[in-house]
Amino acid sequence: MRRRIDPVALLALPAAAYLLFAYGWPLAALLVRSVHGPGGFSLAPFAAFLSDPFSWRVIGNTLSTAGLTTLVCLAVGYPAALALAWSRGIVQVVLLLSIILPLSVGVVVKAYAWQIVLRRDGIVSQALVGLGLWSEPQRLLFTETGLVIGAANVFLPFMILPIYSVIRLLDPRLRAAAATLGATPLHRFLRVTLPLTLPGIVSGIAFVFSLAVSMYVVPSLVIGDRYQTLATLTGRAFLFMRNEELGSTTAVLLLAMAVSIVVGSTALARRLGSTG
């Protein structure tokens, strides 16, 4: 029996066509360019790139920066998501606006702002000296620590919002029922709240990691060229070195990392959601 096409699905055709020509076609050309040279099909560019110790250092920089940024966003974003979901009235509105409004500020503006904040005489250095953690002001600009702080500031909303959306769906009577059974607040959090919010955590981690692993503007402005990641190396290869083979190779590796994280996290979140 011939299946009928859902008319509602046809509403997605304009968006699908736009993505196909504006994103899919250039991406396919990039993939072909990475494995097709003057002599035809070849994986030599990947072999040459992966055989260079510098390339593995770049990959390590990319993964470590993205991983640390994700951990910072999770540590800060999970309590913020709880506060946002459990607050009421004007407090919730203020918290939500404080999370969403920074998204309207461009990444370049944020990166330049962090250049000022992370200087030796910046507010972060002065605050740490005031707290007694540092004996004298130190420069965080052009360091990996400064890069992680700046990147976490940019990507924090993408961790908070998925977790918040899951917490909002939880039945508040579950925590009350656990309390009537004698569970302590910590036990209620570890055995009730945390397991039920795991799909949101996984989604937030996927969002932040996939964005952080491919960031270009923040590393370029906050830490400079001496600290290379796959994204910055891709940009340099295309824009300055005019090496399309190297740029295509690094771009494909970067794409493979991001896609594997998104696909894996989607499957994990779906599994957690079905078991929960």
DSSP the chain: -PPPPPGGGGGGHHHHHHHIIIIIHHHHHHHHHHHEETTEE--HHHHHHHTSHHHHHHHHHHHHHHHHHHHHHHHHHHHHHHHHHH--HHHHHHHHHHHHGGGGS-HHHHHHHHHHHTSTTSHHHHHHHHTTS-SS----TTSHHHHHHHHHHHHTHHHHHHHHHHHTTS-THHHHHHHHTT--HHHHIIIIIHHHTHHHHHHHHHHHHHHHHT--HHHHHHT-TTS--HHHHHHHHHHTS--HHHHHHHHHHHHHHHHHHHHHHHHHHHHHHHH-
> Can you tell me which residue has the tokens 């692993």?
213
pLDDT attached to residue 162: 93
pLDDT attached to residue 152: 95
pLDDT attached to residue 81: 95
Residues of the chain whose pLDDT is less than 50? 1
Task: Note the pTM of the prediction, 2 decimals.
Answer: 0.87
pLDDT attached to residue 140: 85
pLDDT attached to residue 274: 59
Which CATH number is associated with domain 27-275? Answer: 1.10.3720.10
pLDDT attached to residue 124: 82
